[in-house]
């Protein structure tokens, strides 16, 4: 529930922020969302009751969806023209690295100093980000954006629909499997304590490397980079099921999985930007909606199947979703040739 609730709220807030605050200065809007995020982290860190913790997670979901949408679409406004592509790549790299490194970092801090320390650290980071925005981000007046109905009409376009389907499947598969990676490895590889923390940290480092590689690949062909990512995800999850008991093979398999996951955010978002034409914020909001529903849905599905059939079932779900995502990407590439950034 603690993962599903923020995901659902983020999915709702992403398009809502675009529709309701289209005329609000983007710098002020980002600072407002960061204030909500700060309150969320402090509430959870200081909470002594379940419902108070859940309230903090609700605030997290609202802030996350809006911030991800607005920040992820600022590149073209900060650097118009050709420089906008490079600016977008930098912004997406930051979003992607935060996405792939956040969970392993939080796990390490939680194991070393307690779970409250992870949220206290997040609060400090939130304040630091706010100060950086105040110091370096210029005022960016709000622009007329698409309403909810217009966003939904864009989602009905075939290439947008298939892109969202591929993203949904790969995120569901990853979080269904990754949420239960630690107990799966503990049960079948007998890795505990610091060794488990080191394995998750290595996963995070590999994800950062995958993010950098994914950005370079997506610059030449975003759909092809997503296809490569799904192949790596499918191969690594299949290999994990086969070789979890072999420590010499387990580590390389985990590194490949981490590398593949690192590619997901930046490759799917650049693909989204290519398909969005001049409606960047609207399509970005829909992608954030899809991704956050997938994160919460993936964790929920993983919990259900692992509770009924064991942790191995969660890894199997991840592999199946990766295969379906790969097929969807291939279908999208076949139906939309030739694809270009000016499509």
| Cα of 129 vs its chain's centroid, Å | 19
Quickly state the pLDDT bin for 153 (edges 50, 70, 90). low
CATH number belonging to domain 4-335: 1.20.1250.20
pLDDT in tens, 59-100: 988 888 888 788 877 777 787 766 665 676 677 677 767 766
Quickly state the pLDDT bin for 253 (edges 50, 70, 90). very high
pLDDT in tens, 28-62: 999 999 999 999 999 999 988 888 888 888 898 88
Q: Please tell me the predicted confidence (pLDDT) of residue 343.
A: 45
Write out the DSSP string of 67-132. HHHHHHT-HHHHS-TTHHHHHHHHHHHHHHHHHHHHHHHHHHHHHHH-HHHHHHHHHHHHHHHHHH
CB atoms inside a 10 Å sphere around CB 308: 8
Cα separation values, 61 from 25, 115, 117, 174, Å: 21, 19, 20, 19
pLDDT in tens, 296-326: 789 889 989 999 999 999 999 999 999 999 9
* pTM recorded for the entire structure: 0.79
Nearest one of 101, 74, 9, 61 to 273, comparing CA atoms = 74
Q: Where are the domains of the chain?
A: 4-335
Q: Please tell me the predicted confidence (pLDDT) of residue 85.
A: 59
Residue the block writes with tokens 């694809």: 339
Q: Is the pLDDT of residue 336 over 70?
A: no
State both tokens at 8: 């659902």
């Amino acid at each position: 529930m603690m993962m599903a609730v923020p995901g659902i709220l983020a999915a709702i807030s992403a398009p809502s922020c675009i529709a309701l605050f289209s005329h609000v200065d983007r710098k002020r809007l980002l600072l407002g969302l960061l204030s909500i995020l700060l309150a969320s982290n402090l509430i959870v860190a200081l909470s002594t009751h379940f419902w108070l913790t859940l309230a903090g997670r609700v605030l997290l979901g609202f802030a996350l969806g809006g911030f991800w949408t607005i920040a992820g679409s600022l590149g073209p406004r900060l650097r118009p023209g050709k420089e906008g592509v490079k600016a977008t790549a930098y912004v997406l790299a930051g979003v992607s690295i935060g996405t792939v490194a956040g969970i392993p970092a939080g796990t390490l801090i939680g194991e070393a100093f307690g779970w409250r320390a992870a949220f206290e650290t997040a609060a400090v980071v939130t304040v630091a980000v706010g100060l950086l925005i105040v110091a370096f981000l210029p005022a960016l007046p709000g622009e007329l954006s698409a309403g909810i109905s217009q966003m939904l009409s864009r989602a009905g376009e075939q290439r947008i629909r298939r892109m969202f389907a591929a993203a949904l499947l790969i995120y569901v598969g990853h979080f269904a499997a990754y949420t239960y990676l630690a107990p799966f490895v503990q049960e079948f590889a007998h890795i505990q304590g610091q060794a488990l923390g080191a394995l998750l940290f290595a996963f995070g480092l590999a994800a950062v490397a995958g993010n950098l590689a994914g950005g370079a690949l997506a610059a030449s062909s975003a759909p092809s980079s997503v296809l490569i990512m799904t192949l790596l995800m499918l191969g690594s999850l299949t290999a994990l099921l086969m070789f979890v008991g072999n420590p010499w093979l387990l580590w390389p398999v985990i590194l490949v999985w981490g590398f593949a996951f690192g590619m997901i955010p930046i490759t799917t978002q650049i693909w989204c930007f290519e398909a969005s034409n001049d409606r960047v914020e609207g399509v970005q909001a829909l992608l954030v909606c899809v991704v956050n529903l997938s994160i919460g849905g993936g964790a929920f599905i993983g919990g259900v199947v692992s509770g009924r059939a064991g942790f191995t079932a969660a890894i199997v779900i991840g592999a199946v979703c990766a295969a379906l995502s790969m097929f969807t990407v291939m279908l999208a590439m076949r139906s939309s040739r030739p694809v270009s950034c000016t499509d």
